Structure 1
Amino acid sequence: MRHYTAPTSPADAVTGTVGHATPGAAFVGLHHRTGRPLFLPNAWDHASAAALAARGFAAVGTTSLGVAAAAGLPDGVAATRDQTLQLALTLGSGPFLLSVDAEGGFSDDPGEVAEFAKELWAVGAVGINLEDGLGPVERHAAKIAAVKSAVPGLFVNARTDTHWLGDGQGTLRRLDAYQQVGADGVFVPGLTDPARISDLVRHLDVPLNTLHSPDGPTLPELAALGVRRVSLGSLLYRRALGAALDAVDGIVGGRAPSGGTTPSYGEVQALARGDG
């Protein structure tokens, strides 16, 4: 089994070094550092993941929106199973720990979700994000249990959309069900109220993951509340797309592109070679 040593960088305060460990154990360890949540940026292709790793991030997630949009497919409707697995195959042997956003597992059948999780593990992923989409609690719990039975070492981050798609009602009931069947962490995107975050942290037995919001608590504030993982979701993909449009508008308007870093051709080539 390959071993993993996390990189050190100026971002060490949020990425961290976990030492010499198996990849699965290293990823778990990044969720259990008091006051230092795992800051997880999300990539959508090899270059974006390699660039983030080159900045020193110990772990990188994927974004289902970025994967779907890049393929011309809708997000959240189980249309990107093959594309998600192909990206995991591309990234799974990289110099970082990989967590894969798998929507709801691309099936309502727990056994099929478990088979997909086994494929992700086989290509090097150490984590999977499974969202309930406000579907039946029992069905999502069955998916989590099936994945943990099939691939015990895979970190299952169980997402509930009670705040993303609803008004927050039923959050505790869902999270209780998911942690009871073996979820390693739980994810509540859309939750930004500090008091509610603090209440959840006190209630849970597993790490809480929140989604960064420009209007929500800062990373230090989330750390103080006890959040153990902060994800960026599709933010970087959407910012990259926006930067491209801004550059085009500037050039058409007779202005030089501004407002962001532009890697050189050679730097991008270096990422493709793995020496970025």
Structure 2
Amino acid sequence: MTAETGATSFAALHHRPGDPLLLPNAWDHASAAALAARGFPAIGTTSLAVAAGAGLPDGRGATREPTLRLARILGPGPYLLSVDAEGGFSDDPEEVATFAAELWAAGVVGINLEDGLGAARPHAAKIAAVKAAAPDLFVNARTDTYWSGDGDERDTLRRLELYRKAGADGVFVPGLTDPRRIETLVRSVGAPLNILYSPAGPPLRRLADLGVARVSLGSLLYRRALGAALDAVSDIAAGRTPGGTTPSYEEVCGRTANRTT
């Protein structure tokens, strides 16, 4: 599959009314391979896992190189890859565009760019620069009005419209769980809407009924994996047999041996 074909296929996954793209997020080759083996056609990365794995803070622009390194490991995989790039690791739109072009060259077909609730117009300039440098790369423009802001509906819509006009292919509003507000955005924004799954929010079927085009899992799987490891060691220390799913040594080795890079 060529990069252009992959990008077209990835974009098409956002235009299936009633059947949103469920995007699980991996943190290394083994987790991506395991998710692909379960039949997921597209996989994202999660900035928290990249940062935690490198011992760096998340959301502070400190993980450009670890993010690119992971993209180069996962890019050739048998799935469509979207990368969480925080705010692009620079305030300079051209530097963000250069990074996006490097991702595209690594086989990445999608990128998440978050505004961190900074000014909207500089973020829109980053989006425009990325689309100029890598026109086929699917740009998922994230606003943090609900993640770290006060959830102002008018400000959210204003930002998303600005990002869409700058060339964003999809828009992402993590932290938004209210069905009425989700439905309003679906009707108003004019681009595929991505919602971050929350165990306390609407289930996948309800999000599909509301018109959501993409449901991301963010860092949830990574955090659950850490939790499962702690639960397992606690069970062993208490003399109990650990529960849950445990892939065999051979299964994990087999997926590593199939790596194409």
TM-score (norm 2): 0.97
Structure 1: runs of 5 or more not aligned: 5-20
Q: Deviations over 1:167-206 (max 9, x none)?
A: 2121011101000111000000000000000000000111
Q: Secondary structure at the match of 1:139?
A: helix
5 Å matches for 1:223-242? 223-242=208-227
- Residue 269 (str. 1) matches residue 250 (str. 2): no
Amino acid at match of 1:163: Y
Give the deviation of 1:3 after TM superposition: 4.4
> For residue 55 of structure 2, what is the aligned residue in structure 1?
72
Give the deviation of 1:106 after TM superposition: 0.3
Determine the C-alpha separation between the residues in 2 that align with 1:191 and 1:34: 20
Amino acid at match of 1:243: A
> For residue 13 of structure 1, what is the aligned residue in structure 2?
none
Determine the C-alpha separation between the residues in 2 that align with 1:190 and 1:133: 13
Of all paired residues, the percent bearing the same amino acid is 70
Determine the C-alpha separation between the residues in 1 that align with 2:51 and 2:143: 20
Decide which of 36, 47, 54 is 1:53's aligned counterpart.
36
5 Å matches for 1:1-276? 2-3=1-2, 22-169=5-152, 170-258=155-243, 260-274=244-258
Amino acid at match of 1:269: C
Amino acid at match of 2:114: E
Q: Secondary structure at the match of 2:205?
A: helix
Determine the C-alpha separation between the residues in 2 that align with 1:256 and 1:165: 40
Determine the C-alpha separation between the residues in 1 that align with 2:161 and 2:16: 22
Q: Secondary structure at the match of 1:24?
A: helix
Q: Secondary structure at the match of 2:87?
A: coil
Cα-Cα RMSD: 1.1
Q: Secondary structure at the match of 1:60?
A: strand
Q: Secondary structure at the match of 1:100?
A: strand
Amino acid at match of 1:222: L
Determine the C-alpha separation between the residues in 1 that align with 2:160 and 2:185: 9
Higher relative contact order (CA 8 A, sep 6+): 2
Amino acid at match of 1:58: P
Q: Secondary structure at the match of 2:43?
A: strand
Determine the C-alpha separation between the residues in 1 that align with 2:33 and 2:47: 18
Amino acid at match of 2:258: G
Determine the C-alpha separation between the residues in 1 that align with 2:40 and 2:2: 17
Q: Secondary structure at the match of 1:157?
A: strand
> For residue 18 of structure 1, what is the aligned residue in structure 2?
none
TM-score (norm 1): 0.92
Shift of the 113–3 alpha-carbon distance from structure 1 to 2, 3 Å rule, reads closer
Determine the C-alpha separation between the residues in 2 that align with 1:171 and 1:75: 23
Aligned residues: 257
Determine the C-alpha separation between the residues in 2 that align with 1:43 and 1:73: 18
Structure 1 stretches (4+) deviating beyond 3 angstroms?
A: none
Q: Secondary structure at the match of 1:189?
A: coil
Give the deviation of 1:271 after TM superposition: 1.0
